[in-house]
Structures are given as C-alpha cells and as structure tokens.
C-alpha cells in the first residue's frame, strides 16, 4: 500500500467514526490529527486534546452547568446535622436503589449514569 493509499484508508476510518458519532446524536466531529490509528487500535490517548474520548464521554455523561438539588432526609437525621454541625457525604451508589438518583438522572438526561 502506498503512503497516499494509507492516508486515504485512515481518512475513511475518520469518516466512519464521524458517521457513527452523528448517528448517535453526537455533533462533535474529529479529524485524522485528533486520533492515532494502528493496525489494532484507534485512540486519542496520546493526543494533548482527547477530542474523540471527550465527545463520547460528554454525550454519555453531560455536565449540568447549574442546578438546584434537593435531598430529603428524616427529621432525626436533619436534627443530627444541625446538632453536630456536620454534613456527611457518602457514595452515590449506596443510594441507587432509592430511586432518587434515577429520577435526577432522567430529569437532567444523564443517561450514562443509569447504564450498568
């Protein structure tokens, strides 16, 4: 394969990736300079800007620019917070079965957080 044929093949790979991104609603596009292509992998790990990874990650797990978040607790727990002046945070996974997290993620379209 000539060097020009190899570049054409790599550009076809980039075009295919952009088509897949578009098909899934990701508007970000990449160019050949954004990724490294080998015989076995396509990656952006060694690039200073991980454009492909960021596009996929931001689609699956978008950030919320600003939000008011409410959490309800028991009267005893609220009184304990006031009494001790300590507010303890725990791993969100501990509350997953309560439904609160699912509702929040669905409301804010954070679908990636709901995938196992």
Does residue 14 contact residue 35 with C-beta atoms inside 8 Å?
Answer: yes
The pTM score is 0.57
Higher local confidence (pLDDT), 103 or 43 = 43
Q: What is the pLDDT of residues 14-38, one digit of tens each?
A: 999 999 999 999 999 999 999 999 9
The pLDDT assigned to 102 comes to 80
- CA 56, CA 49: separation in Å to the nearest integer? 13
The pLDDT assigned to 110 comes to 79
- CA 9, CA 4: separation in Å to the nearest integer? 9
Q: Where are the domains of the chain?
A: 3-60, 75-114
The pLDDT assigned to 14 comes to 96
The pLDDT assigned to 30 comes to 96
């Amino acid at each position: 394969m000539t060097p020009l044929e190899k570049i054409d093949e790599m550009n076809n790979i980039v075009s295919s990736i952009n088509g897949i991104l578009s098909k899934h609603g990701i508007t970000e596009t990449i160019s050949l300079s954004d990724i490294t292509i080998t015989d076995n992998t396509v990656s952006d790990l060694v690039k200073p800007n991980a454009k492909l990874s960021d596009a996929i990650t931001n689609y699956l797990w978008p950030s919320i620019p600003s939000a008011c978040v409410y959490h309800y607790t028991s009267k005893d727990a609220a009184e304990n917070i006031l009494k001790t002046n300590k507010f303890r945070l725990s791993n969100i996974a501990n509350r997953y079965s309560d439904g609160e997290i699912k509702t929040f993620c669905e409301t804010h379209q954070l679908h990636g957080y709901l995938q196992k």
